[in-house]
Amino acid sequence: MTSRRQAAQDRYDHILPFIEEAANEYYGGNLDRGFRHWAFATVFGVGHDVSGNDIVEYTAIDGSDDFEVDGYFIPDSDDDFVVHLFQSKRRQPGTTMGPRELAAFLNAPSRLLSANEVAASRNDETKVLHDELVKRLIPRDRRCSINLVWVTSGTLSNAARRTAEANQSQSKTIDIYGNLIEVTVTLECLDLGDLYELHQNQQTSDDRFAPCDFTFQLDPDSYHQTQSGTDYRTLSMTVPVKQIIDVFAVHSYKIFRLNPRGPLGNKVNTSIKRTLLNETDRRRFHLLNNGITAICESYRLDDDQLSVRDFQIINGCQTAVTLWDARAAVQGDPSVLITVKLTECPLRFAETIARTTNSQAALRAEDFISNEDVQNRLQQEFNSMTPPWFYEVKRGEWNKMLGGVSAKEPYRAVNGGYRKLTSKEVSQAVLAFAGFPGEAKDRIRNFLNKEPVSNLGLEAVIRYDEIYNDSLSATQLLLPALVQRAVWRKVIEERKEDDSLDWLDYARYHVIWLIGEVLRRHYGLADKLFPRREAASISSHLDEWLESIYDMAFNTIDRTLSDAQNSDDFTGYREFFRSPARYREIQNNLNGEIRYTQTRRAGSSFTSQLPQMLSP
């Protein structure tokens, strides 16, 4: 018989490659941070599309004076405002975690909202989080709650689980600058077993393209359908939530195959779950919830039995996943209902319906480009490179569609990690490289939504269609993407050597911008991206030239930042790097750095290690 400790070790060994992947790609091999990153992504990253780079920023609070908070996340997709506070504890598999491990974290909200404690903190991110909480909690015209998420690779003791259950949902009155505010504080605790189950549930099996057939049982007065002979027959039905739970039990995440997000393991929606756990509210759930929109290949109604061929949810994924998560409380109660709109349509029209219905929900802009021909062509081009790169167009493809660790081997990099890119991260690299660093962080949604994005500081504009057109090649995108990855690694190395360089965490996109600027000046390029052949040549020599140009970008920003810190209007790193007014100052200092570097090298080109421009 397998011991509990051995079973825990087996589960840990299963997820270890994912932890190592995060550790190698973002934290120089640090497994504690790798576990924190993987767990954060497992809990939040799929349903809310939190990218790897985002997680690095969201967990930057970890350190001294962090009030036991390792990370925080404020989604823009929940019905109510929810601030998630996160703490992770990597322990040896099988290690027992008692209630004392939770105690300090449970006190985090009170400490974060204490003006005196925050004022005494030396952690800038703690102060930023305090401001975010105050901004959301003081207004009385909207509901806001704090959700505590505590994860560990150990095993929760029975006493710890009782503590977690006792603190699952509490209402607290907190004094915020003289305002007595009622705040709902919820707690989620996940140990190795819980994380493993969540991870496994998010995986899509090899038969993901098999049709998801199901038969619903309808009451005579619970449904209505369009008249026969109408194109795209539609049936609206109100059924017990148990039937949706049963569909999920049979087919799992395959029922989200046609959703623009891909077959994602969506995050449980806190506000929906709160409604389901309330005995009064859940009996009117079908009135409070927007319901589910689904499509199918065909359906047949025989009396009150509805047989559906390939049931696919295209709007309401979070509702379905949350019903599954709360099934113990609702599946035995036939009075808890959900409204489902089912449309019979051919596959060629399914994507149009999916896009239209999801435009009414909190769908990310990058989801809407996931079915574009140019994006699918780029994915094929990246995969055809030598060596190949995995370009994730639909969110969740890497973890949920590729089929496990073994299928990722063709993309494993020699120095650790994988040759993996996402459409969002590449677009951010392109924006930064082209001279829009602040916008790469704050305006990426606008860019992917095909709105013009302006750099007010440099009086420049960039548009999605200007970059992503029929003439664009994957090779052109790879150059800024490789620069971004290299800059990320350099920042990790610099921060390891000198912990005082905390401004580098905010400066990464600006470093990419300055590297792109130096390259464009050297080659006399007016365009935002390099032509295909030149991009390939520059990329192939990146290890030879990056160091010197990175140092120039570092020195440029360091000098500009030092000048700003001596002025009366300096308000912190975050605002400095998001202010368009600083762009000209940085650009002027880059000019000086170029002149200084040329003089120091006695007139020799500081870019002598760059390849020669190829002849047309």
Do residues 341 and 294 touch, judged by C-beta distance below 8 A? yes
Which residue did the predictor score with more confidence, 169 or 406?
169
- 143 has a pLDDT exceeding 80: no
- The arrangement of strands across the sheet holding 179-190 comes to 71-73, 81-89, 144-152, 179-190, 169-176
The Cα-based distances of 195 to 15, 78, 554 in angstroms read 9, 22, 39
Please give the distance of CA 388 from its chain centroid, rounded to a whole number.
24
Residue with tokens 């000098």, as numbered in its chain: 559
pLDDT at 342: 94
What are 201-213's pLDDT values in tens digits? Answer: 666 544 555 788 9
Q: How confident is the prediction for the chain on average, in pLDDT?
A: 84
- 102 has a pLDDT exceeding 80: yes
Residue extents of the structural domains in the chain: 4-197, 206-363, 367-600
CA neighbor of 77 nearest in space, from 260, 244, 272:
272
What are 323-374's pLDDT values in tens digits? Answer: 988 888 898 999 999 999 999 886 656 655 655 555 444 456 666 687 788 9
Report field, pTM of the whole predicted structure over 0.85: no
Which residue did the predictor score with more confidence, 416 or 46?
416
Task: Give the ranges where 138-264 is alpha helix by DSSP (H).
Answer: 158-166, 192-201, 241-251
Indicate the pLDDT class of residue 230, thresholds 50, 70 and 90: low
pLDDT at 428: 94
Average pLDDT over residues 169-176: 82
- The arrangement of strands across the sheet holding 312-315 comes to 223-225, 234-240, 337-344, 292-296, 312-315
Do residues 159 and 100 touch, judged by C-beta distance below 8 A? no
pLDDT at 497: 84
CATH of 4-197, one of 3.50.30, 3.40.91, 3.40.50, 3.90.320: 3.40.91
Which residue did the predictor score with more confidence, 23 or 349?
23
pLDDT at 79: 46
What are 472-507's pLDDT values in tens digits? Answer: 999 999 999 999 999 988 988 888 788 778 888 889
Strand partners, 421: 391
